[in-house]
Structure 1
């Protein structure tokens, strides 16, 4: 009879292809992620905060990370130590199969995690209310009122006090906060400007609110973070925090364009398409935002004498 390898040893011979691939997979993943190190990720996320809301969000994120390290660090440190100490070949350490309880060890296991949960609960409760997206931002200047409408696959911004509108371009003076009232002309979507902070959903027939501000003039990226079909990846828009003079020139340029945002123009915008360049409208039909809401809210349709077609 031919001898076979002992059950506790790996047979000598060529390694199967599937097994070899599984061993190489982690290294391939690491190599694939190396190019990301050259990306300027901080320029686009909350870690590159450029407004008071984003700064508070970043501070909360870093604080929570620091607290969670208190949980992760002992686990990462003690796991290899325990594995080494209780290895099968270690026959010199004490072996106590009847050992079952130890007050200091139980306290170490339960008291620190309990304190961490309590501290996190207090911090998150406090900061969740402080970062309420509906809460107006403290400022000596009145906020710029903007009505945002989520479409497929673009964003419409209406400035009711200025009488202008834009598609895929949100402009406001950096010296003033901006207050957005949001709805959707189609499926549910989510507006997010990472460097200014805040993410809020927009739903048909409903309004949500978001308050943002910028510390200084700059150009930022906004996006929809709720998947809504084939054009989702291109539903980005520019956010322009401008000086007062630049904002005045932006308004003048919009008004000089001569375009009017009326129900017919809005109906054209609702067609599923991506918008390569921003569009500016020099005038807007009064109460257009309210009429968009009424299309998807039976209560408003009844109140205003509208009936679904």
Structure 2
């Protein structure tokens, strides 16, 4: 008897499967924080509910193809069949029930996983101001009086309030392992609350295309112990005597640049983040928070005349 010849690909297919599946890993499926864990649970729950419809459809498709194959003469032949109330009930009722449960789940998680919802009291939360630039990330620590470029650090098990804005076009701030993303828009003060329950270094990036240097617009998020975080803050303070203020040194930093290395600023203007936002809000060419005051003075002078 002649043996059937199969393409060689079938002989090496078992060896290729691990390579084909090697890209299935995802930071969302390996969370390191409370928000990320809840998002993973939501994804798996919704996926499981949808499989209630998908799996039976796949199984029935294969069974029908087998039962009503051309060579099966035992299958019932019913050319005039057109409708079944029982089948209609099953086909419509099950998806409607699943959609009902998904609607409830979506409503609840839209509120419980709201990125603007604080995870703890303000006194127990670390505030970090994040500004997207072309093509780098600026992180300002208002309480510590320091700033960094393309590197952020915070203690483990400490709620972090990221206030997010943009010094250029719209971007999106995300540390996938920790959870939600939030958009960074010029002239707007957005925010997202995150927390990490394990120490480590987690990649962060922009998830909204913003031009030529978008691919290198990444940063490292260092989650450390409280003691190591304080040591990191001291390292930034002692790294140099560079001061970041608006508009002079900030304008230099904001110039478009690609693949920017980590940079530390040991001194930061207390109103830097507000000045960046106000520069877009008032269009004052660098006066920032003082624009409103100048406008009031000008209006008073015109009224006096």
After TM superposition, is the score higher than 0.5? yes
* Stretch of structure 1 that moved more, 135-144 or 238-247: 135-144
Does residue 1:225 correspond to 2:214, yes or no? no
Q: TM-score, normalised by structure 2?
A: 0.84
What is the distance in 1 between the residues matched to 2:13 and 2:186?
41
Aligned residue for 2:4? Answer: none
* Pairwise CA distance, 1:107: 1.3
- For residues 260-288 of structure 1, give each alpha carbon's deviation from its aligned partner in whole angstroms, at most 9, with x where no partner exists: 11232211221111244211111111211
Aligned residue for 2:166? Answer: 184
Tell me, yes or no, if the aligned pair for 1:175 and 1:244 is still in contact at 8 Å.
Answer: no
Q: TM-score, normalised by structure 1?
A: 0.83
Does residue 1:303 correspond to 2:292, yes or no? yes
Aligned residue for 1:286? Answer: 270
Aligned residue for 1:165? Answer: 147
What is the distance in 2 between the residues matched to 1:304 and 1:255?
33
* Stretch of structure 1 that moved more, 256-265 or 116-125: 256-265
What is the distance in 2 between the residues matched to 1:135 and 1:245?
27
What is the distance in 2 between the residues matched to 1:234 and 1:140?
33
* Pairwise CA distance, 1:152: 1.1
Does residue 1:259 correspond to 2:242, yes or no? yes
Does residue 1:80 correspond to 2:69, yes or no? no
* Pairwise CA distance, 1:140: 9.5
What is the distance in 2 between the residues matched to 1:93 and 1:192?
56
Tell me, yes or no, if the aligned pair for 1:180 and 1:211 is still in contact at 8 Å.
Answer: yes
Structure 2 alignment gaps of length 5 or more? 1-6, 296-305
Tell me, yes or no, if the aligned pair for 1:189 and 1:225 is still in contact at 8 Å.
Answer: yes
Match of 2:175 among 172, 176, 193: 193
* Pairwise CA distance, 1:90: 4.4
1:182–1:140 CA distance, 2 compared to 1 (3 A): closer
1:36–1:193 CA distance, 2 compared to 1 (3 A): farther
Does residue 1:63 correspond to 2:45, yes or no? yes
What is the distance in 1 between the residues matched to 2:210 and 2:20?
27
- For residues 236-268 of structure 1, give each alpha carbon's deviation from its aligned partner in whole angstroms, at most 9, with x where no partner exists: 101011111111111111111211112322112
Tell me, yes or no, if the aligned pair for 1:143 and 1:178 is still in contact at 8 Å.
Answer: yes
What is the distance in 2 between the residues matched to 1:141 and 1:215?
19
Aligned residue for 2:298? Answer: none
What is the distance in 2 between the residues matched to 1:65 and 1:119?
12
* Pairwise CA distance, 1:47: 1.1
Superposed CA RMSD in Å reads 2.8
Q: Secondary structure at the match of 1:179?
A: strand
What is the distance in 2 between the residues matched to 1:126 and 1:67?
16
What is the distance in 2 between the residues matched to 1:284 and 1:211?
23
Match of 1:271 among 232, 242, 255: 255
1:76–1:141 CA distance, 2 compared to 1 (3 A): farther
1:39–1:102 CA distance, 2 compared to 1 (3 A): closer
Does residue 1:47 correspond to 2:26, yes or no? no
Does residue 1:216 correspond to 2:198, yes or no? yes
